[in-house]
């Protein structure tokens, strides 16, 4: 498969994620947009690594490790969001702004 197709897919994911993160006020929707943007970077990185050195799997292993770290990060983010919702009944970014120190 052509490198350009994967980079086009990554660009589309990045654009959709950026739109979702900037246009929504729900914390969950903002986090979903951020996850789409991170996935776009990982798709582009895996495609470039595969294109530059298809014989070694070093780049793909690094992308899998980044995916694992991202999954743990998103799980913690959703746990914090659920805790904020249960404590204050807040699910919008504007209402959660007073949580800063």
Residue 44 belongs to some domain of the structure: yes
* Gap between the Cα atoms of 26 and 29, Å rounded: 5
- What confidence tier does 95 reach under pLDDT thresholds 50, 70, 90? low
Domains contained in the chain, number: 1
Residue 50 pLDDT > 90 = no
Task: Please state which of the ranges 12-16, 67-71, 95-99 shows the lowest mean pLDDT.
Answer: 95-99
Residue 66 belongs to some domain of the structure: yes
Residue 35 belongs to some domain of the structure: yes
Residue 15 belongs to some domain of the structure: no
∠ CA(74), CA(75), CA(78), 5° rounding? 85
* Gap between the Cα atoms of 85 and 13, Å rounded: 28
> What is the per-residue pLDDT for 8?
96
Residue 100 belongs to some domain of the structure: no
Residue 99 belongs to some domain of the structure: no
Q: Which range of residues forms the domain containing residue 40?
A: 26-90
- What digits encode the pLDDT tens for the residues 22-49? 998 888 888 889 889 999 999 998 888 8
Q: Tokens in use for 22?
A: 């900037």
Residue 1 belongs to some domain of the structure: no
Residue 49 belongs to some domain of the structure: yes
């Amino acid at each position: 498969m052509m490198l350009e197709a994967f980079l086009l897919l990554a660009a589309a994911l990045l654009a959709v994620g950026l739109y979702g993160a900037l246009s929504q006020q729900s914390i969950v929707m903002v986090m979903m947009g951020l996850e789409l943007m991170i996935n776009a970077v990982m798709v582009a990185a895996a495609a470039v690594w595969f294109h530059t050195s298809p014989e070694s799997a070093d780049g793909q292993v690094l992308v899998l490790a980044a995916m694992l770290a991202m999954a743990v990060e998103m799980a913690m983010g959703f746990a914090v969001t659920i805790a904020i919702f249960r404590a204050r009944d807040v699910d919008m970014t504007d209402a959660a702004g007073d949580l800063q120190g």
